Structure 1
Amino acid sequence: MDRKLLDLLVCPASHQPLHRLDSPQRDALNAAITRGELLRGDGRTETRSLADALASRDGKQVYRIDDGIPVLLVEEALQTAGIDGLAAR
């Protein structure tokens, strides 16, 4: 993803800047997905693992990147309030 584009993107729910997840953060989320612990904004349980993702500055919403395109839909955002270590570093 282009750095200039990333600098322009904000969370559609909280309007916080977004940052790209690093490997340990992504691994923690994928483990939670495998355990069935992550809900999407629409209340459904997320079942697809993440290859790449963006998180709000506070780490409470995560948006997947599919084929290089950020999916910035509130109803598809992963609600990650119970997972530590996702806030911007």
Structure 2
Amino acid sequence: MSDDLLEILCCPETKVPVEMLAADRVEKLNRQIAAGKVTAVGGETVQKPVQEALITTDGKTIYRIDDNIPVMLVDQGVATRQLEDW
């Protein structure tokens, strides 16, 4: 993802800026997705593993990136408070 795009993106609900989610955190998230333990803000269980993701700078919400396109939809965000050992 380009730095220029990353610089202007923010959480659509809180307007908190976002940054790339570190690779080790992506792996940790995917393990919990595979275990069926991750629910999107909209209430649906997340089933598809994440290749890349953005996280708000306050560390509260994760937004997936699909095919290099950030999915900045509130209902599809993942609240980190539900994640074990985050």
TM-score by length of 2: 0.91
CA contact under 8 A between 1:38 and 1:80: conserved in structure 2? no
Aligned ranges 1:62-81 → 2 under 5 Å? 62-81=62-81
Measured after TM superposition, the shift of residue 13 of structure 1 is: 1.7
Root-mean-square deviation (Å)? 1.2
2:16: which partner in 1?
Answer: 16
Q: Could you tell me whether the CA contact under 8 Å between 1:26 and 1:53 is conserved in 2? A: yes
AA partner of residue 16 (structure 2) = Q
Aligned counterparts of 1:38 and 1:59: Cα–Cα separation in 2: 16
Give the share of equivalent positions with the same residue, in percent.
36
Structure 1: tracts of 5 or more residues without a match: none
The one-letter code of the counterpart of 2:71 is V
Return 5+ residue gaps in structure 2 as ranges. none
1:60 corresponds to: 60
Residue identity matched to 1:21? L
Separation (CA, whole Å) in 2 of partners of 1:3 and 1:39? 29
Matched, 1:48 2:48: yes
CA distance in 1 between partners of 2:53 and 2:16 (Å): 15
